[in-house]
Chain A
Amino acid sequence: MSTPVSTQVIAGPATPAPLLGWAVADTWVVARRHLLRLVRRPDELLGTLLIPVMAVLMFGFVFGDALGSSMAAPGEEYREFLLPGVFTLTMAFGIGTTTIAVAGDVRGGVLDRMRSLPMSPVAFLAGRALADVITAVAELALLISLGLLFGWQWHSGLGAVLAAVCLLLGLRLAFSWIGIVLGLLVSSAEAAMKYFALAFPLAMVADTVVPTSLMPGWLSVPAAWNPLSATVIASRDLFGNPAGPATSWVADHALLMAVAWPVAIAAACLPLALGRLRRLAR
């Protein structure tokens, strides 16, 4: 409390700029906040990656030969099949990180502080989604390197590989928006953690670790229509990795659905999240 600072230096209205311009600038500032948090706590990222690493070890090596034999492919080929599935479920599990972080900001009062600022309220949401996608780039880079160590490889051109990565990032974006809506709905970050187990059927009842053709008939329908299935089937195709037989309409149109699902999910979640933000003022 030593040297008094003039309080009138920067009073007055902010530099006028188009609203959309501020929304974009604010989104980047909010995203940068989340990335700075990650730099301060890199162990968070490692924690997120434990699930996929364990999945590769458990499914790939413990169950690999058994699952592979029923697929008429030996263990090594099963791991080629498995890795795109693990990439995909890592993107989906990101929903937990997003929900917990958003719920923390709502409860902790950071959101209230932001709502009292002249910033764009959309930026609070979009910034989180952008940070999630940027983080997912790092996660995928690490997982792909790890996969290469485990003997996984792609059998296609760089363009196809990049397209597969884009599909995976699209799925992460979609699940980020679901996480944002859930984070605005749950009462606390602790409550969100209690429901995290629900992410498992979401991740497993899909073409991720076992092809849907091997599931009982009643399960194969929801599995095929799980948004994860479209992404994993399309990315296997783009990586040139072995896939199960296409037994559903979704599997036949995997690329289309891998684009359509994230677009539809994000389009549904954006108005829900904005509505929820408005309700906070009631």
Chain B
Amino acid sequence: MSPHSREPAVLVEGLVKSYPGRGTVLDGLDLSVAAGTVHGLLGPNGAGKTTAVRILSTLLRFDAGRARVAGHDVARNPAGVRERIGVAGQYAAVDEILSGRQNLELFGRLHHLRLRHARRRAGELLERFDLVAAADRPVRHYSGGMRRRLDLAISLIRSPQVLFLDEPSTGLDPRSRNEVWEAVRELAGAGTTVLLTTQYLEEADRLCSRISLIDGGRLVAEGSPADLKSRVDGSLDDAFLLLTSAGAHDGRAA
């Protein structure tokens, strides 16, 4: 648990990441996510959203700066971070051949739950995400929405303090998207911190209490959706277009 209860759930200062051949992806990113909130990371393609989330979920090392998640330093104590986070990806990383139940039990055991406990947790999550009827069917027969729900369920196995969602509704139909949004709201209501990346302004507007607008690997604006709208005296679309290079250069990376 966090030694300072007031510490933000995610704290990023001056994060730098560059790849050989691809140049600088994160160029001194700052980010602070209050515990128990849904925070959106919004920006054009190539802004560094996914790289930031991969670093915060311990999948990628960084070159400079500081990152703390759930009270643990990402670079010095990745194991401590891993015990307290959930990760759900843009491409649901689940085993396609196994059933939904088998996937939940597998990842539950890899979270070091006892077999009995992993089974019970799988049952709870299948019920919660309306997957009971399909529980024993192979995931490759699931619809896109069901797959995303399973992905989300897997990321919640150990009740993470911080949940990272990389483009949670990309490729979903409106009904499935609403289901995912509903689940995210419920989680936040129960005290989980959610950091999500998105390209959809509507998603950020309806789901997030705060938005960090990033571009070129830096924070360009931050605030509640209402703050950002009032800053440009228009919609969130206007904020996105006025404050990021996607607008300035007419969709350079689109």
Contacts and interface: CB of A to CB of B under 8 A. Distances in A.
Contact of B112 (A33, A41, A118): A118
Contact of A108 (B82, B93, B121): B93
Contacts of A12: 1
B198 interface: no
Interface string A66-103: 00000000000000000000000000000000000000
Interface string A256-282: 000000000000000000000000111
A128 to B, nearest CB: 13
Interface stretch (B58-66, B204-212, B239-247): B58-66
Contacts of B92: 109
Contacts of A20: none
A117 B127 contact: no
Interface stretch (B26-34, B152-160, B214-222): B152-160
B128 A118 contact: no
Interface of A: 1-15, 17, 22, 25-26, 29-30, 32-33, 36-37, 40-41, 108-110, 112-119, 123, 280-282
Interface string B112-134: 11000100010011011110000
Closest 5 CB pairs of A and B: A109-B93, A14-B112, A113-B93, A119-B110, A7-B190
How many of chain B's residues touch chain A, expressed as a range?
35 or more
B179 interface: yes
Given A9-B159, A10-B159, A110-B95, A26 B128 contact: no
Interface in B129-167: 129-130, 138, 154, 156, 158-159, 161
Interface string B73-110: 00000010011010101011111111100100011011
A7 B59 contact: no
Contacts of A25: 112
Given A7-B190, A119-B112, A113 B61 contact: no
B60 A118 contact: no
Contacts of B202: none
Interface of B: 1, 19, 57-61, 79, 82-83, 85, 87, 89, 91-99, 102, 106-107, 109-113, 117, 121, 124-125, 127-130, 138, 154, 156, 158-159, 161, 179, 182-183, 186-187, 190-192
Instruction: Tell me if A's interface is mostly helix, strand, loop or mixed.
Output: loop
A134 B83 CA distance: 31
B83 A14 contact: yes
B23 to A, nearest CB: 15
Contact of B156 (A1, A7, A114, A119): A7
Given A1-B186, A117-B111, A33 B95 contact: yes
A11 B161 contact: yes
Contact of B97 (A6, A11, A37, A114): A37
A41 B87 CA distance: 28
- Among A11, A15, A37, the one with the most B-chain Cβ atoms within 10 Å of its Cβ is A11
A1 B181 CA distance: 11
Contact of A2 (B19, B82, B127): B127
Given A36-B102, A281-B61, A2 B130 contact: yes
B59 A4 contact: no
A93 to B, nearest CB: 21
B107 A117 contact: yes
A257 B87 CA distance: 46
A3 to B, nearest CB: 6
B3 to A, nearest CB: 14
A173 to B, nearest CB: 23
